[in-house]
Structure 1
């Protein structure tokens, strides 16, 4: 049974934005989230559990990317989240160095 046309994305650029945001943006956010956690908490425990939770978080972020109406807004949201997580990771490494 074919999909209803009103639910499909008509623009190729929107389709490209949603697919790349789901795959690349979701992966970057999932990995940066676990890196930020590892910089503040026990990094060995976070890395071990991230093998499971990173995949689950990535799958959730993939679904979220396709739920949005505008793929470029999803990209912007993922880039903003990545920036915030990068700052948290940076200050976590400055505060709690591994050496």
Structure 2
């Protein structure tokens, strides 16, 4: 049974934005989240745990990207989240150096 046309994204650019945000943006946010955790907590335990939890988080972020109405807003949210997590990672490395 084909999908109802009113629920499909009409613009190819919106479709591209949603697909790329789901794949690349979700991956960036999932990895940055685990890097931020590793900078504040035991990095060995976080890396071992992230082999499974990063995939689950990535899958959830992929679903969330397709739930949004505008793919570019999803990209903006994912980029903002990755920048915030990058700042957390930076300050975590400054406060708790690994070496």
Runs of 4+ in 1 over 4 A off after TM superposition: none
Unaligned runs of 5+ in 1: none
Report deviation, 1:17. Answer: 0.1
Q: Match of 1:6?
A: 6
Q: Match of 2:53?
A: 53
Q: Match of 2:98?
A: 98
Q: Match of 2:36?
A: 36
Q: Match of 2:20?
A: 20
Number of aligned positions between the proteins: 99
- Give the TM-score taking structure 2 as reference length: 0.99
Correspondence list, 1:74-93, <5 A: 74-93=74-93
Unaligned runs of 5+ in 2: none
Provide the rounded CA distance (Å) in 2 between the counterparts of 1:26 and 1:98: 27
Report deviation, 1:38. Answer: 0.2
